[in-house]
Amino acid sequence: MNIHDKAHDLAKALNTSDEYQAVLKAKQPLAADPAAKKMVNDFFAKQMEVEYAALSGAPEDKDKKEQLQKMIELIRYNKTALDYIQAQGRFQMVMNDISKIIAESVAEGLDILGKK
């Protein structure tokens, strides 16, 4: 078994997955709608900002979280933006699941302290 061949097989499976195909399908109308595209880009940028701050241990910024919530409310009224964000979310869940499966399968070998 060549591990790189398995990685290529996984990549092919991801490319043909329903979740990824939904992202591609939702991306087409998004690309044709500059307002929806800006809305999505702004949302993802603000979401990353909030997540990075949380990961860095910074105190919770209620203003940024409120801005993010307002963005979500606006996106709910734009079907093009909403469809894309929902498709991205479903695909991201698949990617997270795969990452977790891989991490758990090698956790023992990578745990140098012997803790589980």
Q: What is the pLDDT of residues 21-57, one digit of tens each?
A: 999 999 999 999 999 999 999 999 999 999 898 889 8
Nearest to 77 by CA among 114, 42, 105, 39: 39
Q: Which two tokens stand for residue 35?
A: 């307002």
Quote the DSSP letter at residue 17. Answer: S
Give the global pTM. 0.84
Q: Write out pLDDT tens, residues 68-110.
A: 999 999 999 999 999 999 999 999 999 999 999 998 888 877 7
Q: How many helices (H) and strands (E) does the chain have?
A: 5, 0
Q: What is the pLDDT of residue 113?
A: 55
Per the CB < 8 A criterion, the answer to whether 81 and 40 are in contact is yes
Phi, psi angle pair for 112, to nearest 5°: -75, -15
Residue 115 has pLDDT above 70, yes or no: no
Residue tagged 């990685």 (tokens): 7
